[in-house]
Amino acid sequence: MIEKIRKEKADPVLFYTIVILVILGLIMIASAGLGYSRVRFSDEYFFLKRQFLFGAIPGFIILLIVKNIDYRFWKKISFIFFVISIIFLTLVFVPGIGSKVYGASRWIQFGSISFQPSEMLKISLIIYLATWLEARREKIKDFYDGLLPFLVVVASISFLLIKQPDIGTLGVTILIAMSIFFVSGARISHMFAIAAGGIASLFMLIKFESYRMDRLLVFLHPELDPKGIGYQINQALLAIGSGGIFGVGLGHSSQKFNYLPEPAGDSIFAIIGEELGLVGVTILVFLFIIIAIRGLRIAKKAPDMFGMLLAVGITSWIVFQAFINIAAISGLIPLTGIPLPFISYGGTSLVFLLIGMGILLNISKHANTE
């Protein structure tokens, strides 16, 4: 009886870690978006209101629902869910439906509400690959029945993301797919081949787009053109550096006032570093480490291969995206335009992240994590 109760209870550590991250995100969006909201929308808390109303509230409602849906249900709709996400991803290129912002076609516009299909793609791909690889568990090591079909799926998605263009999301998506493929039992030689092909493709993408080459040059030489192509990373490093150990205080950032681009979005980690200092960013990183540990523990104890692959995919999604955002804003890798999970402004991102967490929490109900 005790064992049954334990299995039916979702991982409380994981749940409260998610709650803390979302609350922290709302607090930092309120602070980081203050200046930009005032200038652009004449409302200091425009970003906070939208994130709360269109991200946090619906996201947690859906999380509580999904948390109580048996994770094996998603196997039944994995293909249709994946196809729908591909259709939405294609619609961003249709005039009158897709919305182009800063030269990128990444959004679908419904009146005043925008929707980013690439966020839906991440969770649908995880579910689809977990279903597909479980069904092919005996053929995963085979080149023609395992590696080749996997590459076709990844290449199809990559083409659409490159066309947007959204190289940051492309990188996260490929890392998620590779993580699931590796854990499913793929050959090490196949993984090395995928990695080599990915690096070569990334080099070609950088070489043939000047702004990507500029980002690489700035990464290698941060002092290069500080008022031009090196502006964002230099302002981000200035924000983080000025925070010191304890920060300048919540709400007291100077970089958020029209100095640092996207202070409530992709650059929000820099504002956290400035206002909350080393202590604040350490706590933030620690929260993501908790998600990584609990997620992998749930995967290890999952009752079947589908649950294990699903848990690995969702966990790797959070961890890789967080690492890439933090590393990019800290100057450890070239800048990429992806949000910090649960923290950056973006209702679509938050809702689908919480859907993923709901699925992971349900897997934890069935997993023996004691």
Average pLDDT in the 246-269 region? Answer: 87
126-135, 200-209, 216-225: least confidently modelled range: 216-225
User: Above 90 in pLDDT, residue 213?
Assistant: no
| Contact in structure between 181 and 129 (CB atoms under 8 Å) | yes
| Contact in structure between 181 and 187 (CB atoms under 8 Å) | no
What is the widest separation between alpha-carbon atoms in the chain? 66
pLDDT of res. 137:
83
CB atoms within 10 A of CB 20: 15
pLDDT of res. 103:
59
Number of independent structural domains in the chain:
1
What are the respective helix, strand and coil percentages of the chain, to the nearest 5? 70, 5, 25
| Contact in structure between 302 and 311 (CB atoms under 8 Å) | yes
Split at pLDDT 50, 70, 90, the class of 368 is: low
Average pLDDT in the 328-352 region? Answer: 90
Q: For the chain, what is the mean pLDDT?
A: 88
Please name which of 258, 350, 260 lies closest in space to residue 50, comparing C-alpha atoms: 350
Owning domain of residue 317: 2-366
Q: How far apart are CA 268 and CA 256, in angstroms?
A: 9
Split at pLDDT 50, 70, 90, the class of 295 is: very high
Higher pLDDT, 102 or 311: 311
What CA–CA distances, in Å, run from 159 to 86, 166, 195, 345? Answer: 11, 10, 17, 26
pLDDT of res. 3:
39
Q: How far apart are CA 152 and CA 370, in angstroms?
A: 39
Q: How far apart are CA 80 and CA 134, in angstroms?
A: 17
Average pLDDT in the 226-250 region? Answer: 85
| Contact in structure between 358 and 63 (CB atoms under 8 Å) | yes
